[in-house]
Copies of this chain bind each other. A is one copy, B any other.
Amino acid sequence: MIHLYDFELSGSCYKIRLFLNILGKEYEKTNVDFVNKEHKNDKYLALNPFGEIPILEDGDLRLRDAQAILVYLARKYDSSGNWFPADAEGAGRVAQWLATGGGEIMSSAGARLVKILDYPLDLENLQAGANRVFGILNAHLADREWLELGRSTVADIACFPYTALAGEGGIDLSPYPNILAWIERMKALPGYIPMPGI
């Protein structure tokens, strides 16, 4: 049985819950008390020394990093090969946005941590970073329905949560109509589930 170490309000954990639901895979989960930093205690540092969630266990395999977990789940349980393709060009194109989802878009996640959990981070700088990547994303989506390959892939899953949660970080998405349309397409995917705030 797949086991997910999860926090309901984490957009990174939501990536995994969403993709597991799209794949139709059942799983067990442990709720981690993120607010009280349970993921930084010795038990969790033994599971993931980076002190982050999600963590996924599947049999003897344990994986950290939301994007790596998406790659694993796609390869393991998506027999179509559509969600993370095996061919070089498809894999490379999708991998670009895995980097963005775990990288630049996390500025939006940081802004949200300031707003909802009072993290001592530079809100203005994080909001500026988020707006920069949203501008790029909006332009990219001007003539595309999905981030790459003309279909939904783990690229979209990786970039979706902290884009759709931008408002909770005080970032207005109304200047980005192509992003707003993409969010609606995501919400219409078979197997879609929401999270609080989306």
* Complex partner residue of A72 from B61, B76, B92, B103, CB under 8 angstroms: B92
* Complex partner residue of A61 from B86, B92, B104, CB under 8 angstroms: B92
* Complex partner residue of A88 from B76, B92, B100, B139, CB under 8 angstroms: B76
Q: How far is the CA of A38 from the CA of B58 in the complex (A)?
A: 46
Number of copies: 2
Q: Give, as a whole number of angstroms, the nearest-CB distance from A13 to chain B.
A: 15
A63–B92 CB distance below 8 A = yes
* Complex partner residue of A50 from B72, B89, B104, CB under 8 angstroms: B104
State which residues 91-125 of A face B: CB under 8 Å: 91-93, 95-96, 98-100, 102-104
Q: Give, as a whole number of angstroms, the nearest-CB distance from A41 to chain B.
A: 16
In the complex, chain B residues whose CB is within 8 Å of the CB of A61? 89, 92-93
Q: How far is the CA of A72 from the CA of B92 in the complex (A)?
A: 4
In the complex, chain B residues whose CB is within 8 Å of the CB of A67? 95, 99
Answer whether residue A68 sits at the interface, using C-beta atoms and an 8 A cutoff: yes
Given known pairs A50-B136, A102-B103, A103-B102, the reply for A71 and B95 (CB within 8 Å) is yes
In the complex, chain B residues whose CB is within 8 Å of the CB of A65? 95-96, 99-100
Q: How far is the CA of A93 from the CA of B76 in the complex (A)?
A: 13
In the complex, chain B residues whose CB is within 8 Å of the CB of A3? none
At the interface, is chain A mostly helix, strand, loop or mixed? helix
State which residues 42-92 of A face B: CB under 8 Å: 49-50, 61, 63-65, 67-69, 71-73, 75-76, 84, 86-89, 91-92
* Complex partner residue of A89 from B72, B86, B89, B95, CB under 8 angstroms: B72
Q: Which residues of A pack against B, CB within 8 Å?
A: 49-50, 61, 63-65, 67-69, 71-73, 75-76, 84, 86-89, 91-93, 95-96, 98-100, 102-104, 133, 136, 139-140
